[in-house]
Amino acid sequence: MTTALDTDVRPEDRFISAFEVNHGQTLNGTSASISQQREDAIERFAELGIPTNDLELWKYTNIAKIIDRPYTLPLGAEPASVDPSQIEPFLIDGMDAHRVVLVNGRVDESLSDIGELPPGVVVSSLAQAGKDHPDVVEEHYGKYADFEDEAMTALNTAFVQDGAFVYVPSGTVVEKPIFFLHVTSTDQDLFLQPRHLFVVEDGAIAKIVEAQHSLTDTQTFTNTVGEAFVGEKGNLDHYLIQDEGPNASQVHTRAAQQKDDSVYSTQTITYTGEVIRNNATVEADGSFCESNLFGLCVGKDDMHVDNHTRMDHVQPDCNSNELYKHVLNDESTAVFNGKVFVSRGSQRIDAYQQNDTIVLNNEAQIYTKPELEIYADDVVCSHGATTGQLDDEGIFYLRSRGLSERRAKILMLQAFTEEVISELSIEPLRDYVTDLVRSRFATYV
């Protein structure tokens, strides 16, 4: 069942009426509390409305304009036939992983190859987890991605149906990366809202890789919300590659919560897309946490990438490290808005935030706003931001060593991005991203 969104009415109302029409459609096998949350979320969405440029948090990204297109909102499971050969190009060479393929936000088991998992570990669709592991879903679902001030999160919560699910029980180590391959395959303009939940319990270790690709030329909009929980002494690496092509727009919201002595590292590689907004929120709700937020965007054409991060230090003795880099060419635009928040009493926090941008072209634009909001005195917090072009002296040096100007520039750009890419802990993935980025640079000069 689908609902075509009527473009004559206010975009908010289209969603609200779609919600009313399809009241019964819900996350399979979920509890009353989740249903209640959906009701609250649509109410909150109605109050907040779709974000406009008037809001400080959306100042540089006009998402309302993108959402106001005649998208189709799928409200039930629709079989989409994707041939295994079609996903072949999206696989990462040499990365032996537990692979799950999601087509239009729903797990496609015939394309997936989960393989053997350590005992107790669950990798499945969220809908399936709602049936098989209601206690885990109940405990963590909707707890970290707050929709009180985020209209897009409220919208996702209201329409929640399916998505990815990972559960790693206490003390379990998942050696191989868990790879979620998201593809869109449709002949319509689709509005998708997948929802993911990743739970890594005390002392457990996991690596999750997500990659977004598209098999269509139609316009799509994906409003994703992903939640992650890392228990005491847990360790989660969470990587995302965004490569959906020039017709795909998205708002990607990630919210993670960490407990004592845990490590959470996330990295976002933005390669293609039309308008992309990433919200990454990490709450270090325990002492001695380590949080790493990295991002890389290599812009081309009229791509618009907006990275918002929020690092919440609500407990003492933690450290966080944030580095976002952009290379902008053509008419691409990048926005970076990072916030480090240290609440009262969260002493001995060591937080670092950096955003560097290389602008290659007259039409490219960068808006950056690294923020600190600090209410504790015994902290070391710093941030830095630079924007500029390639260093002439560096190019001269390389040319004097016999490199062509083109080679010299590509090498310098690679060096610039290496600092972020080298943080990826999976070697085949690192190689894959390095190649991706290098092939982009080759088109620049």
Partner 1 sequence: MSTSETEYLKGKASEEYEHGWYTDIESDKAPKGLSEDIVRFISHKKDEPEWLLDWRLKAYEYFEQLLESGHYPDWAHLDYERPDFQNMRYYAAPKGKADYDNLDEVPDEILETFERLGIPLEEQKALTGVAVDAVMDSVSVATTFKEKLKEKGVIFKSFGEAAKEHPEIVREYLGSVVPYTDNMYAALNSAVFSDGSFVYVPEGVTCPMELSTYFRINEQGTGQFERTLIVTEPGAYVSYLEGCTAPMRKENQLHAAVVELVAHEDSEIKYSTIQNWYPGDEDGEGGVYNLVTKRGICKGDNSKISWTQLETGSAVTQKYPSVILAGDNSVGEFYSVAFTKGHQQADTGTKMQHIGKNTKSTIISKGISADYADNSYRGLVKVGKNADGARNFSQCDSMLLGPDCGAHTYPYIESANPSAQIEHEATTSKVGEDQMFYCHQRGLGEEEALKLIVNGFCKEILQELPMEFAVEAKELLAIELEGSVG
Site string for partner 1, 127-156 (x = CB under 8 A): ------------------------------
85 binds partner 1 (CB under 8 A): no
One-letter amino acid for residue 88 of the chain: E
- The answer to whether 216 and 186 are in contact (CB under 8 A) is yes
Compute the least distance from the CB of residue 443 to partner 1, in Å.
17
- Cα 428 to chain centroid distance, Å, stands at 20
Compute the least distance from the CB of residue 343 to partner 1, in Å.
10
Nearer Cβ to partner 1, position 45 or 336?
A: 336
Nearer Cβ to partner 1, position 4 or 380?
A: 380
Give the residue, chosen from 96, 373, 427, 435, that forms a contact with partner 1 under the rule CB under 8 A. Answer: 373
Q: Enumerate residues 379-398 that contact partner 1 by CB under 8 A.
A: 379-389
- 95 Cβ neighbours under 8 A, 6+ residues apart: 177, 179, 209, 426, 428, 429, 432
- The answer to whether 221 and 67 are in contact (CB under 8 A) is yes
367 binds partner 1 (CB under 8 A): yes
53 binds partner 1 (CB under 8 A): no
Nearer Cβ to partner 1, position 360 or 421?
A: 360
- The answer to whether 162 and 27 are in contact (CB under 8 A) is yes
Compute the least distance from the CB of residue 54 to partner 1, in Å.
11
- Cα 3 to chain centroid distance, Å, stands at 26
**What SS3 state is found at 32?**
helix
- Taking CA atoms, 186 is separated from 14, 19, 103, in Å, by 21, 22, 9
Nearer Cβ to partner 1, position 119 or 388?
A: 388
Compute the least distance from the CB of residue 66 to partner 1, in Å.
21
**What SS3 state is found at 84?**
helix
273 binds partner 1 (CB under 8 A): no
Site string for partner 1, 325-354 (x = CB under 8 A): -------------------xx-x-------
- The answer to whether 272 and 302 are in contact (CB under 8 A) is no
Binding segment for partner 1 (CB under 8 A), chosen from 238-246, 287-295, 356-364, 419-427, is: 356-364
Nearer Cβ to partner 1, position 114 or 372?
A: 372
Residue with tokens 């987890």: 129
Strand partners, 224: 252
**What SS3 state is found at 79?**
coil
Sites of contact with partner 1 (CB under 8 A)? 56, 344-345, 347, 357, 359-362, 364-389
